[in-house]
Structure 1
Amino acid sequence: MSVSEAWIGDCHLKEIDGQRECCCQVAVWADGFDVFHARLEEHLQAQGLSLLWVEEGLSAPHYLRRHRDQQSRIGVLARAVHAGHPVEFGPLNFHNVGVGLDTEQNYLVYEDIADTAPLDDQFGAWPVKNVPKMLLDPLFGQPEPDSSAIEDDGDVAQVPVMRTYAVIDAAKLQSGFDEIAECGLRYRCLFKGQAAQDLKDVAPLLLELDPSADMTRRLLTYNPKLPESMTTAHLWHKEPGIYIRSRMGFEDIWRHFRKFVRIQDESGKWFYFRFWEPSVLNQLPAILTPENGKQFFAKDLTFVALTANPNAGRIIRRV
């Protein structure tokens, strides 16, 4: 049986209705990472804040084994939480982001996707669909190549097809990494080395999607008759990741996103950058400086963010 205790994380927060953000440490009374994350987000929402990303997310003893120099500070945080007071933050020092809508519109364009309802159980339907009708074109359409693509490849016949990728959070899956490893699609962890092995069940994983694959149907299905934890059948409600369209190959896409797995804040501290969360992706244009934004939202990429809200689908691409 799981036992609740203090869990510690380093997180980056943003005001939902403002332009201020901050980095801080947090303690949450939980019996695992999923409860830690859910209680943290619930508490933040009540405070008018959103979670952009979180690093670590470990039980207090595990956190202290990695950060022995922080024993005094973490001890105070850990002792402050219990069943009646499940969340406690360290010092919150907000600062203005200073990047507004006018700046983001200089290099990005947006397109809302209407009526992005997920697939249901499709009881009695044959053949079953793998992709909702309104998402066939945004996710798997083959647009005509633009002039720059033709110029790069010399001939329209030589322009690569438009591929579909997804960056999926293994922590959203009931069986973690194993569900990706067994899905039959090409995949690769965005972490490297020992971190890829130690954190594989909570790591971001790049997949190349096929519209005929069972995994594609699971990502785009929600069946309210099933337990929400049954991710081997449906995943839409979990907001498991983000989608990317590109003519670039798998390895090039992997190398691009590898550069953004961890970033530094103003003090030089490193954080995991959870850009694979749809809610984070939607906020990035207002958070990143134009210089950093243009690096992340590269011209060869089109992003598709799908949330549990069926009317909140969004396409983001460079001008």
Structure 2
Amino acid sequence: MTLQSDQKEFRSWLGTCRFSKPADNGETVFGSQAVPTECKAVVAIWADSEEQYLNVLSLRMERYGYGIIQVDDIMPAPAWMVLKARNRTGPVLARQVSAEFPFALDLIENNPISQDDNVGDDKTLKVIVTTTLHRVEPLDAQFGVFPRKTLPEALTEWFFGPATPNIFANRADTGNTDDNPSRLYAVLDAGKIPNLGELLSSSGLEYQCLFNGKTASELAEVAPYLVKLEDNNSFTRQLFSRGKEPWFLWDRAGGIFIRTAATLTELRKHLRKFTRINRGKNDWVYFRFWDGPVLNALLRGMKSKPSHVATFTQCPKTLTFITIDPLTDTANRFIIDQKRLAGAKKQPVTPAALIDTVQLETETQVSTEKRLIIEAHREALFTAPGPDDASMELLKNEIPFLKTCGISKTQYLHDVLVFLIRNDLTGGKLSPEQRDILMHKRNNAPTKIRQLEKTVSA
């Protein structure tokens, strides 16, 4: 990408980059800093987009003989400063870059990898590049708009744009021939999208259930479906539209998205390996990787485990995963560098080999609680934005207390949180009488709420 003449669109972008070079090349000097053969740094670049950031980063690293291993948290400097308020490096770097001086970095981890980290199959091959888009605005009904958009502008490049920027192009061990992810797929949950089978059959899109035979028939209303999405298709548009009408599906959080050059048959064959997993002693369960929070936790937990990444992502073609959280209107993209995994040994498809179950359950639980709090906050205060960080922390602290009161069902937690938020009773503001009502084990949640309402009205 070439720089545009209109410099007003350009600003400081920040990201965290891990990069390396062959040991015999010795150290390189960036500005006044001597950089070892492998290190991690916060990098500021004067850019107008994530793609521009990655392109400049690749050129700079190539100039100095370094290869990029991993890039995370790429975002404009203002967003970085909000999400990483404790990191003092970003703001300093952001002020250093401009159109005349477009590149700056500051090392945050400058020791070469130890021998212990470089043994056998699990070499340090952190090859999942994660990027998050915040405040993605879904489509509305688009009355009077022509031509109508298929998806939000913020997602156009990720879903139907040109090939994902090949930030690994300067590595000697790449040569990936699948860098043109020309197809967009969704794995959709019929349990979250009512009448999904009927919608797909009339959509004109190519699709297949991930289940086979009798299972596909018996579980049709809750099964996952692999769909090849097309631009300018009405069903694709519905997936990215928000509204009260039942055919607007953004808020359904219906599944995940994959960009790849693989055919639908190739991708389905690969994904079907993970629809069920054996927890041991022939205890088979369905593994809902097509649920956004589960996939987020899974991929983030795999970053430093190349054999696990290889097992899950080595389809015949490169896979790029995208998830959307409609509660916070954010999107996450996970780019996998398959060639970097060429030497990683695949493990048997079992929970022990593929999934860190403790971390997965923990991260999924955190995500579930966050969604629960945001939904309760929105219902209680009739506002679209979720709670600020301070309010989120207060409400998170309420959940363990409510569970000790015998309120554990998600719906009951939601109802009680709505009551507490609406009446400003969070953060230790409950009276002794109100605490006694909640702690009364024999009463269910609806009864407790009715009793609490009497204390407020009184």
For the criterion TM > 0.5, the same-fold answer is: yes
What are the equivalent positions in structure 2 for 1:197-276 lying under 5 Å apart?
197-223=217-243, 226-227=244-245, 230=246, 233-276=247-290
Q: Does 1:177 align with 2:197?
A: yes
CA deviation after TM superposition for structure 1 residue 144, in Å: 6.8
Over 3 Å counting, the alpha-carbon distance change for 1:269 and 1:135 in structure 2 is same
SS at match of 1:188: strand
Do the aligned partners of 1:183 and 1:214 also contact (CA within 8 Å) in 2?
A: yes
TM-superposition CA deviations, 1:7-38 (whole Å, max 9, x none): xxxxxxxxxxxxxxxxxxxxxxxxxxxxxxxx
TM-superposition CA deviations, 1:204-241 (whole Å, max 9, x none): 00000001100110000011xx25xx1xx211100001
CA deviation after TM superposition for structure 1 residue 117, in Å: 1.4
Q: Which moved more, 1:282-291 or 1:127-136?
A: 282-291
Match of 2:154 among 113, 134, 141: 134
Supply the distance in 1 between the matched residues of 2:270 and 2:252 (Cα, whole angstroms). Answer: 25
TM-superposition CA deviations, 1:151-208 (whole Å, max 9, x none): 658xxxxx86611000011112222322222211000010011111111111100000
Over 3 Å counting, the alpha-carbon distance change for 1:105 and 1:219 in structure 2 is farther
Do the aligned partners of 2:136 and 2:331 also contact (CA within 8 Å) in 1?
A: yes
Supply the distance in 1 between the matched residues of 2:195 and 2:336 (Cα, whole angstroms). Answer: 36
Aligned partner of 2:145 in structure 1 is 125
Aligned partner of 2:321 in structure 1 is 303
Do the aligned partners of 1:303 and 1:317 also contact (CA within 8 Å) in 2?
A: yes
Supply the distance in 2 between the matched residues of 1:144 and 1:312 (Cα, whole angstroms). Answer: 19
Do the aligned partners of 2:162 and 2:180 also contact (CA within 8 Å) in 1?
A: no
Over 3 Å counting, the alpha-carbon distance change for 1:174 and 1:250 in structure 2 is same
Supply the distance in 2 between the matched residues of 1:180 and 1:297 (Cα, whole angstroms). Answer: 26
Supply the distance in 2 between the matched residues of 1:307 and 1:144 (Cα, whole angstroms). Answer: 21
TM (normalized to structure 2)?
A: 0.42
Which structure has the greater CA radius of gyration? 2
Do the aligned partners of 2:199 and 2:235 also contact (CA within 8 Å) in 1?
A: no
SS at match of 1:293: helix
Of Structure 1 and Structure 2, the greater strand share is in 1
SS at match of 1:263: strand
CA deviation after TM superposition for structure 1 residue 297, in Å: 2.8
Do the aligned partners of 2:180 and 2:260 also contact (CA within 8 Å) in 1?
A: no
Do the aligned partners of 2:163 and 2:180 also contact (CA within 8 Å) in 1?
A: no
Amino acid across the alignment from 1:134:
A
Aligned partner of 2:308 in structure 1 is 292
* Count of aligned pairs: 207
Aligned partner of 1:114 in structure 2 is 134
Over 3 Å counting, the alpha-carbon distance change for 1:145 and 1:124 in structure 2 is closer
Over 3 Å counting, the alpha-carbon distance change for 1:222 and 1:189 in structure 2 is same
Amino acid across the alignment from 2:211:
F
Match of 2:209 among 173, 189, 192: 189
Gaps of 5+ in 1: 1-101, 154-158
Of Structure 1 and Structure 2, the greater helix share is in 2
Do the aligned partners of 1:189 and 1:203 also contact (CA within 8 Å) in 2?
A: yes
SS at match of 2:262: coil
Aligned partner of 2:183 in structure 1 is 163
Point out 4+ residue stretches in structure 1 off by more than 3 angstroms: 102-105, 144-153, 286-290
TM (normalized to structure 1)?
A: 0.59
Do the aligned partners of 2:181 and 2:259 also contact (CA within 8 Å) in 1?
A: no
Q: Highest relative contact order (Cα 8 Å, sep 6+), 1 or 2?
A: 1
Over 3 Å counting, the alpha-carbon distance change for 1:151 and 1:235 in structure 2 is closer
Do the aligned partners of 1:297 and 1:317 also contact (CA within 8 Å) in 2?
A: no
Supply the distance in 2 between the matched residues of 1:174 and 1:151 (Cα, whole angstroms). Answer: 40
What are the equivalent positions in structure 2 for 1:30-49 lying under 5 Å apart?
none
CA deviation after TM superposition for structure 1 residue 142, in Å: 1.8
CA RMSD across the alignment: 2.8
TM-superposition CA deviations, 1:259-298 (whole Å, max 9, x none): 1111112444111110111111111035556423322133
Supply the distance in 2 between the matched residues of 1:215 and 1:103 (Cα, whole angstroms). Answer: 43
Identity %: 33
Over 3 Å counting, the alpha-carbon distance change for 1:198 and 1:274 in structure 2 is same
Supply the distance in 2 between the matched residues of 1:290 and 1:144 (Cα, whole angstroms). Answer: 21
Aligned partner of 1:316 in structure 2 is 334
Amino acid across the alignment from 1:205:
Y
Supply the distance in 1 between the matched residues of 2:123 and 2:242 (Cα, whole angstroms). Answer: 36
What are the equivalent positions in structure 2 for 1:3-82 lying under 5 Å apart?
none
SS at match of 1:178: helix
SS at match of 2:325: coil
